[in-house]
Structure 1
Amino acid sequence: MPDRSREIVDYMMANDDFSQWLGIEVLHVSPGNSKLQMTVREEMTNGFKIAHGGITYSLSDSALAFASNGYGAQAVSIETSISHTRPVAIGDVLTAEAVEKNKSKRTGIYEVIVTNQKGKTVALFKGTVFYREEEWPENLTNPKR
């Protein structure tokens, strides 16, 4: 079976307004793995003028989605958690790397590490996905829009 992960992720991104708003760039994707990058903007900050925790969570969640859907079966998250290890500032370039830790027919467990441009870990994320019986269609060249 050929690796369709990039085709699937490109389709997902084309239909994901929120990931587009975040400014996510897909650096790498393969079945069970992904690497994403984005830059924190002022409108992403909280009252302390540091990135809202939802920003690193959302980047991590997208990394989880792209890594887990790369196999061709449609995957949805069923449990996630995140630990924020240091503050994130306006202008920080965040990189999220998702790695599969365990996969069975119906579930997968992933770890996502988010680092800043200095290579410092800013968040640790764990996610469990459920693999649906539905496969991604063969022709994904045209987004649903």
Structure 2
Amino acid sequence: MQADQLAVQVVNKMMEHDAFSQWLGIQVIKVREGYSKLQMTLREEMLNGFGVIHGGIAFSLADSAFAFACNNRNNLSMALDVSITFTKAGQPGDIFTAEAREIHNGRSTGLYLIEVTNQNNQPVAIFKGTCFRTGRELVTVEAETGEV
């Protein structure tokens, strides 16, 4: 099985069981090994007390992109450290896109940079995440056929 095919299958399985990402309305746009691109439309119930989208929404979208990118090699990976810098507020109806790119793929750790933009391609947030690789598979791949 090709790496990108496996990546898609892993993310599909993750998304199938990810009630939070589903609740947020996250859509998987693109997946390839070490990469993911997600999108979501912001809703009224995501507003904070200041009348702008709660920062946790952009964080959650970026965190899901991070999770899908760092796990899609079929190696269960957990966040060790993350940080986010917000550059622009969001409003209901805005469409946020999070694009996760792998910076480093090590045996036991990985480093990812996730850029969140709005529908006008304006930067909303920059998220950096480091993961720990457990060595456990998320989907079972048969060695002979490569089938999941």
Smaller-chain TM-score bracket: over 0.9
Pick from 110, 113, 122 the counterpart of residue 112 of structure 2: 110
2:144 corresponding residue in structure 1: none
Deviation at 1:90, TM superposition (A): 0.7
Deviation at 1:82, TM superposition (A): 0.3
Pick from 90, 93, 111 the counterpart of residue 92 of structure 2: 90
Percentage of matched positions with identical amino acids: 47
2:139 corresponding residue in structure 1: 137
Pick from 49, 52, 75 the counterpart of residue 51 of structure 2: 49
Deviation at 1:2, TM superposition (A): 2.4
| TM-score of the pair, normalised by structure 2 | 0.91
Whole-angstrom CA distance in 1 between matches of 2:90 and 2:28: 20
Aligned length: 139
Contiguous gaps of at least 5 residues in structure 1: 140-145
Whole-angstrom CA distance in 2 between matches of 1:55 and 1:66: 17
Whole-angstrom CA distance in 1 between matches of 2:12 and 2:105: 23
SS at match of 1:20: helix
Contact kept? 2:39, 2:95, Cα under 8 Å: yes
Deviation at 1:137, TM superposition (A): 2.7
Residue 33 (structure 2) pairs with residue 31 (structure 1): yes
Contiguous gaps of at least 5 residues in structure 2: 142-148
Deviation at 1:8, TM superposition (A): 0.8
Letter in 2 for 1:68: C
Whole-angstrom CA distance in 1 between matches of 2:15 and 2:40: 14
For residues 65-104 of structure 1, what are the structure 2 equivalents within 5 Å? 65-104=67-106
Whole-angstrom CA distance in 2 between matches of 1:82 and 1:70: 22
Structure 1 runs of 4+ aligned residues shifted over 6 Å read none
Q: Which has the higher strand share?
A: 1
SS at match of 1:38: strand
Contact kept? 2:47, 2:54, Cα under 8 Å: yes
Whole-angstrom CA distance in 2 between matches of 1:48 and 1:83: 18
Whole-angstrom CA distance in 1 between matches of 2:121 and 2:48: 23
Whole-angstrom CA distance in 1 between matches of 2:56 and 2:40: 14
